[in-house]
Amino acid sequence: MTMRRLRSLIPILAAAAVSLPTATAWQQKGAFATGYYRNLFAEAGHSQPEITRKIDAAFQQLFHGDLDTQTVYYGAGKNANGPLAYLTDINNHDVRSEGMSYGMMIAVQLNRKAEFDALWNWAKTYMYQGSPTHPAYGFFSWSMKTDGTPNSESPAPDGEEYWTMALYFAAGRWGSGAGIYNYRAEADRLLDNMKNRKIIAGTTARGPETDGPEFDPTSKMVRFTPNNLRPNHTDPSYHLPAFYELWARWGPAADRSFWREAAAVSRDYFQKVTNPKTGLAPNYANFDGSPVAGFGRRAAFGPDAWRTEANWSVDWSWWEADPRERELSDRIQAFFESKGMDTYGSQFTLEGEQMVDTHATALVATNAVASLAATRPVATRFVEALWNAQIPSGRYRYYDGMWYLMGLLHCSGQFRIWTPK
């Protein structure tokens, strides 16, 4: 049977809930080369109609559910560019660049252009710094009040990373339009600023600030903040080599070699920054992989760091460039298995001492995404744990909900590469 014929049977096999072959049998060069994305839920025996219903229900609740207890997406009127909407952190009563960019990524993956455009319009209207003399010029405020007033005008680079990738994907899925909806031009401009923006000193709502590019030119690593008045370090969960490989192909030509090198640097960094026994990474770390001194719990494994395993696992799924990522997924899943599949906590020292006993849905989701790279049979149990989790609601539905929904997309093979037109 030819490979083309074999691939053509994938939807049929998934719909029939037939156990699919392992990743090794299908992905010789990763999803970018083959066009095949593993459906871990189908591999575990769930039918495609069941999977579709679960994802649709999650999107409906988190984007269009009850305003008080379910949704994190809120319409905010219109302006000259069309409808506006924001996605808010319910617990902290703010709008974050992280969540807005996640929301846009979810929208493009689910072919929800109206929600995508409304979120982008709000971000460009209220979060974007358009003054050439502002320290954050060309970037987005990381935290806003829901009325559009900034809490902090400083950027958080993970927001710019996800925005850039979501915009390129939008250009691929829908084609670019005009003005702020010229998705590819917006992505190119943002990506150029992330690497090349000049240093600007000035005043922000929180005082003086001097910002530069979001990537360190020497280490080729993403910075925790481009604020030059703060110590230069990184956040391991901001490292997204799967995205950098695409920017090395689609981004401004002059910087493509930089992004290719950045992908290799981040893959090596995953090995340096994770504990060799537990696989846990710190929330914040130095460029050499050591936790940032004096940061206390912020240098331990916590909510930021949960995402790190998803980043290396998606990188393996899309590119199959570094087999060491499979070892990392096996290691971290073995650690959480040892802590009790249904009872493990959410914050730990890097050596594995539990600091917070809350069993968080977002961590359940990233542990499931790790199964894209994992090789041990227990990987299926982590996928099933996400399948059995409830759609987050209530006070903490923002972060848990975004990663619950992104986890569903990753584990169903519906978090895909959309090549820009």
**For residue range 204-223, what is the model confidence (pLDDT) as tens digits?**
988 899 999 999 999 999 99
Residue 193 domain flag: yes
Q: Look up 66 and say whether it is catalytic.
A: no
Answer for the pair 340, 324: CB distance below 8 angstroms, yes or no. Answer: no
- Mean pLDDT, the chain, rounded, equals 93
pLDDT at 279: 98
Looking at the domain assignment, is residue 388 inside a domain? yes
| Per-residue pLDDT tens over the stretch 364-404 | 999 999 999 999 999 999 999 999 999 999 999 999 999 99
Q: How far apart are CA 95 and CA 123, in angstroms?
A: 10
Q: Answer whether residue 57 is part of any domain.
A: no
Lowest mean pLDDT across 37-46, 224-233, 408-417: 224-233
Residue 9 in this model has a pLDDT that exceeds 50: no
Instruction: Let me know if 98 is a catalytic residue.
Output: yes
Q: Which residues make beta-bridge pairs with 210?
A: 201
What pLDDT shows up at residue 296?
67
Domain of 274 in residue numbering reads as: 72-411
pLDDT tens digits for 89-134?
999 999 999 999 999 999 999 999 999 999 999 999 999 999 999 9
Secondary element (H or E) of residue 105: helix 97-109
Residue in 121, 116, 155, 150 with CA at minimum distance from that of residue 135? 155
- What is the predicted pLDDT for the residue at 158? 98
Query: Predicted confidence band at 293 (pLDDT cuts at 50, 70, 90)?
Result: confident
Number of domains making up the chain: 1
Of 94, 98, 245, 309, the catalytic one is: 98
Mean pLDDT over 18-47 rounds to 75
Any domain includes 163: yes
The reported pLDDT for the residue numbered 18 is 30
d(CA 413, CA 415): 6
Q: How far is CA 363 from the centre of its chain?
A: 13
Tens digit of each residue's pLDDT (9 = 90 or more) over 349-370: 999 999 999 999 999 999 999 9
- 332 within domain boundaries: yes
More reliable by pLDDT, 295 or 59: 59
Model confidence band, residue 295 (pLDDT cutoffs 50, 70, 90): low
The verdict on residue 3 lying in a domain is: no
Interhelix angle 306-319/324-338, rounded to 10 degrees, is 140
User: For residue 387, is it within any domain?
Assistant: yes
CATH of the domain at 139: 1.50.10.10
Is residue 178 assigned to a domain? Answer: yes
Out of 304, 320, 322, 400, the active site residue is: 304
